[in-house]
C-alpha cells in the first residue's frame, strides 16, 4: 500500500520556534505501517534534526512545492502559502482575529484546505490535540523567573533569583531540580518579610492551569479559597515558609448582573448576563497567572483602569502577571502584545499607560510569551505528536476533491475543517463578517 505524500514545514514565524507536529519516531511508523511518503523541509533549528528524519526514512527537501498536504505548528506566513494545498496548523482565526484575516483571505484565494488543531474536539467539545499543559509548565517557570528578577530590581533579595527562563534548561527535569532547591531554601529560611504572605493566583483549571500548578506545587504551597484570600493578611498565623495558592474558577471571577444564582452553563451561553468581580481579588495577589480562555463576549479579567486605581491608592502588592493565555488587549488588558522568547517581558506603567520592554521601570511586570511550549520543545513535541498520530493517516489519504457533506474524515477532524478548497465550511461561515471588515478597511 502506497499512501499519499505529506510534508513537515520549518517553523519560521518565530526565531525560537523549534517544535514539530510529527516526531521522527512516529514518522518512521507512518512510513512503514501506512506507506506514507514524508517530505521534511530542511531546518537548522528544529529540535529534531534533519539527520534524525533521514534515519526514519523521510526525504529532506528544500521546498514543499510538490507536497500536497503540509503539517505545521504555528501560522504560516502569507508569503509561504501555495495554491491548492491542504494545511494543518494552529491558524488562530476562529475568533475572527483581525491580525490573521489576511492569512485566511489568502488561503481562500489560493483554494487552500485548512484543518486547525484548535478545533479538533470530541463529542463534548474537549480539545484532543494541544500543547496546553506544556504552555502551563513553561509559563509558570517563566513567571517565577520574572518574579525573581523583578524583586531583585526592586531591591528585594529572594530565592527565585536562582531560576532561569525555561528555554535555557536542556529539559524539564533540569528545571525541576532548580525548583526543588528553591523549595528547600524556602522551607529552611523562609521568604523575605516584604513578600509575606506570598500569594499566587491562577485563573482556570484546564490543561494549561494543571501544567502551571504542577510547577508551583514543586514549591511549598498552601491552597486557599478565593474568599480566604480577602482576609489572609489579617490573620496572625501567616507563614513565611509557604506560598499561598489560589485557583479561580468562573464562579469566582463573575456574577450575574441581576443577582441570580451563578450557573456555569448560563455563563458560557449568555455571558452578557454577567459582570467581572475579579477586581475584588487583585490587590491581594503577589503574582497572577492567567490560564483562562477569553474572547470579547466576556468582561476583561484585569482592566487598565483598575490597575491605575490600585497604584494610585498605593495597593501595588501585585508585582508580576504571567499571561499564559496571551490574548493581546484581551482578558488582561495591559497585555498589549505577545512577546517572543528572546524578549519575554515588559513593564506596564499604570500611571502613564505606557510600556517598556525588560524588567525595569515603574509598574507591573508582564510575561506574555506567545509560544511557551517551544521553551520545552522536545517534551511538548513528543506529547503533541502522540496525540495527533492516529489522525495523520486518514488526513493523508482523504480525497479532498469532494463536497463537504461527502468528505470522509474522522468526526474530530471534520469538525476542524475550516476551509475546503478555498471555501468556508458550514460551521465557519461566521468568519465571512470578519473577512468583510478586512476588505472594507483596505
Q: Write the CATH number for 232.
A: 3.40.50.720
Please report how many Cα atoms fall inside a 13 Å half-sphere around the Cα of residue 214, on the Cβ side: 18
The pLDDT of 248-260, averaged and rounded, is 94
**pLDDT at 442 (0 to 100):** 63
Cα gap 209→190, rounded to integer Å? 26
**pLDDT at 385 (0 to 100):** 97
The β-bridge relationship of strands 345-349 and 354-357 is: antiparallel
Backbone angles phi, psi at 50, to 5 degrees: -55, -40
Instruction: Assess if residue 441 is contained within a domain.
Output: no
242 plus 334 within the same structural domain: yes
- Number of domain units in the chain: 2
Helix, strand, coil percentages for the chain (3-state, nearest 5): 40, 20, 45
What residues contact residue 49 under an 8 Å CB cut-off, 6+ apart? Answer: none
Is the model's pTM score more than 0.95?
no
pLDDT > 70? residue 1: no
Question: 484532543: which residue's cell?
Answer: 128
Of 348, 375, 402, the residue that ends a domain is: 375
pLDDT > 60? residue 230: yes
**Longest distance between any two alpha carbons in the chain, whole Å:** 73
Compute the Cα dihedral for 351, 356, 359, 360 and give only its sign. negative
pLDDT band at 124 (very low <50, low <70, confident <90, very high): confident
Q: What is the pLDDT of residues 129-146, one digit of tens each?
A: 988 899 999 999 999 999
pLDDT > 70? residue 2: no
Instruction: Assess if residue 442 is contained within a domain.
Output: no
Q: What is the pLDDT of residues 321-357, one digit of tens each?
A: 999 999 888 999 999 999 999 999 999 999 999 999 9
The pLDDT of 292-317, averaged and rounded, is 90
121 plus 228 within the same structural domain: no
What separation in angstroms does the CA of 12 have from each of 48, 65, 78, 145?
A: 15, 17, 11, 27
Question: 504542577: which residue's cell?
Answer: 214
Domain extent, residue 286, equals 132-375
**pLDDT at 439 (0 to 100):** 79
Cα gap 226→301, rounded to integer Å? 15
Question: 467581572: which residue's cell?
Answer: 276
113 plus 245 within the same structural domain: no
Q: What is the pLDDT of residues 156-192, one digit of tens each?
A: 999 999 999 999 999 999 999 999 999 999 999 999 9
Amino acid at each position: 500500500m502506497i499512501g499519499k505524500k505529506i510534508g513537515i514545514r520549518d517553523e519560521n514565524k518565530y526565531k525560537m520556534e523549534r517544535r514539530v507536529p510529527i516526531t521522527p519516531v512516529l514518522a518512521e511508523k507512518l512510513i512503514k505501517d501506512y506507506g506514507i511518503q514524508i517530505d521534511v523541509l530542511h531546518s537548522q533549528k528544529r529540535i529534531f534534526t534533519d539527520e534524525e528524519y533521514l534515519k526514519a526514512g523521510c526525504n529532506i527537501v528544500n521546498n514543499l512545492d510538490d507536497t500536497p498536504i503540509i503539517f505545521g505548528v504555528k501560522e504560516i506566513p502569507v508569503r509561504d502559502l501555495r495554491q491548492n494545498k491542504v494545511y494543518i496548523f494552529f491558524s488562530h482565526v476562529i475568533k475572527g482575529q483581525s491580525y490573521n484575516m489576511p492569512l485566511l483571505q489568502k488561503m481562500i484565494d489560493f483554494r487552500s484546505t485548512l484543518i486547525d488543531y484548535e478545533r479538533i474536539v470530541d463529542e463534548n467539545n474537549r480539545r484532543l490535540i494541544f500543547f496546553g499543559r506544556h504552555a502551563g509548565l513553561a509559563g509558570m517557570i517563566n513567571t517565577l523567573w520574572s518574579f525573581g528578577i523583578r524583586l531583585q530590581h526592586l531591591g528585594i533579595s529572594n530565592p527565585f533569583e536562582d531560576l532561569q527562563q525555561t528555554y535555557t534548561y536542556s529539559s524539564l527535569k533540569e528545571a525541576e531540580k532548580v525548583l526543588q532547591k528553591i523549595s528547600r531554601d524556602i522551607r529552611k529560611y523562609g521568604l523575605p518579610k516584604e513578600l509575606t504572605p506570598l500569594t499566587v493566583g491562577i485563573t482556570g483549571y484546564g490543561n494549561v492551569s494543571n501544567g502551571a500548578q504542577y510547577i508551583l506545587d514543586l514549591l511549598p504551597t498552601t491552597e486557599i479559597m478565593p474568599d480566604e484570600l480577602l482576609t489572609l493578611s489579617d490573620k496572625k498565623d501567616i507563614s513565611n515558609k509557604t506560598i499561598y495558592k489560589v485557583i479561580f474558577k468562573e464562579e469566582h471571577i463573575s456574577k450575574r448582573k441581576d443577582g441570580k444564582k451563578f450557573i456555569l452553563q448560563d455563563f458560557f451561553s449568555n455571558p452578557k448576563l454577567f459582570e467581572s468581580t475579579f477586581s475584588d481579588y487583585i490587590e491581594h495577589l503577589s503574582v497572577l497567572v492567567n490560564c483562562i480562555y477569553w474572547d470579547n463576549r466576556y468582561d476583561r479579567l484585569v482592566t487598565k483602569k483598575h490597575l491605575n486605581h490600585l497604584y494610585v491608592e498605593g495597593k501595588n502588592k501585585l508585582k508580576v502577571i504571567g499571561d499564559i493565555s496571551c490574548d493581546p488587549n484581551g482578558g488582561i488588558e495591559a497585555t498589549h502584545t505577545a512577546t517572543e522568547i528572546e524578549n519575554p517581558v515588559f513593564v506596564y506603567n499604570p500611571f502613564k499607560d505606557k510600556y517598556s520592554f525588560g524588567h525595569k521601570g515603574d509598574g507591573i511586570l508582564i510575561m506574555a510569551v506567545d509560544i511557551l511550549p517551544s521553551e520545552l520543545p522536545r517534551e511538548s513535541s513528543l506529547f503533541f505528536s502522540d496525540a495527533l498520530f492516529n489522525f495523520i493517516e486518514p488526513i493523508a489519504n482523504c480525497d479532498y476533491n469532494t463536497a463537504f457533506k461527502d468528505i470522509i474524515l474522522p468526526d474530530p477532524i471534520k469538525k476542524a475543517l475550516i476551509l475546503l478548497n478555498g471555501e468556508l465550511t458550514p460551521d465557519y461561515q461566521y468568519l465571512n463578517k470578519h473577512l468583510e471588515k478586512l476588505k472594507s478597511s483596505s
